[in-house]
Amino acid sequence: MDFQALLDGIDAELRPQLGREGRVATYIPALARVPTAQFGIALRTCAGEEAAAGDSAVPFSIQSVSKLFTLTLAMRLLGDALWERINREPSGNPFNSLLQLESEQGVARNPFINAGAIAVGDRLLTALGADAKAGLLRMMSGLAGEAIDFDAEVAASEAATGYRNVALGNFMKSFGKIDNDVAAVLDFYFHQCALRMSCRQLAKAAGYLCRDGAHPSGGAGPVVSESQARRLNALMLTCGTYDAAGEFAYRIGLPCKSGVGGGIVAVVPDRLTLCVWSPAVDDSGNSVLGTRALELFASRSGLSIF
């Protein structure tokens, strides 16, 4: 398959639609300033072949795409013990909802909604202590094969305005489901969301998800086991795009993880990983043009898990 021609075609078709639909996430002031007229797409096959088009080398705030990587780290470090306080069911609710936490006694529905990701962060802080943020950066840099860093301005912007996340953290703590100081857990969470990466870097970094857990660089040891990689993909398909997960499965049919910065990582198991980015998002927090690009990719390539 000529992947470069495929991505060039998608870029050419979507570029005229830039800035027409959706809007940037204004509830995080630093994200509200990102120009909407940007679109990037990049893929990397299991064999290491790469293709990219548009603004694929422009770094952006990966936001909730980071939840995929913190979950990966937590599964590596904790194994099944991770699931004592986090469930694995789609929530059918917005990513920052407090609703189900009340009736479900502070146990988050899944690791990809904000509550679940904050709970994962708590477990990572317990496991890694003061080294947690540096440990995450080391893992991301190793996966991407180049230095990855946090955007300090985005992290500070979110810390100053993240009232809902503060509420989620405190609410779970009130049920005894958070071990560490809530402020420390949120500091870790705001930093993971503020990781700055490009489509190309993300397509490479997520490579273990299409390679049964093997490291994208080949030489290094496995990132996760084969069964953990399968389970990460299952969680992406069922929970990775929040209350739009059913619609994503229907329209695209690939495991996906989105972020409110406009990035979406998708996996074609045993074939490739793909990342799209365009900053304007819909009501569920998923990139409008990114979703459309994935739909075009799946229909034109015939690559889907169904």
The one segment of 6-14, 136-144, 205-213, 253-261 that binds ligand DON by CB under 6 A: 253-261
Q: How would you label 140-163 residue by residue, b for 16+ Cβ within 10 Å and e otherwise?
A: bebbbeeebebbeebbebbbeebe
Which residue in the set 180, 233, 258, 291 belongs to the binding site for ligand DON (CB under 6 A)? 258
List 110, 114, 201, 273, residue binding ligand DON (CB under 6 A)? 114
Segment near ligand DON (CB under 6 A), from 33-41, 225-233, 244-252, 257-265? Answer: 257-265
* Residue 64 in contact with ligand DON, rule: CB under 6 A: yes
Would you give the end-to-end CA distance of the chain in angstroms?
Answer: 19
- How far is it, in rounded angstroms, from Cα 197 to Cα 61? 7
Q: Which is catalytic among the residues 56, 242, 276, 281?
A: 242
User: What mask, x for binding ligand DON by CB under 6 A, covers residues 179 to 208?
Assistant: --------------x---------------
User: Whole-angstrom Cα distance, residue 191 to residue 131?
Assistant: 13
Rounded least distance, CB 152 to ligand DON, Å:
15
List the structure tokens of 217: 């660089």
CB of 306 to ligand DON, least distance (A): 23
d(CA 49, CA 55): 19
Residue 43 has which token pair?
Answer: 């893929």
Binding segment for ligand DON (CB under 6 A), chosen from 7-15, 99-107, 177-185, 258-266, is 258-266
305: nearest Cα among 224, 248, 222: 248
Given the rule CB under 6 A, which residues bind ligand DON?
A: 63-64, 95-96, 114, 158, 165, 193, 258-260, 285-286
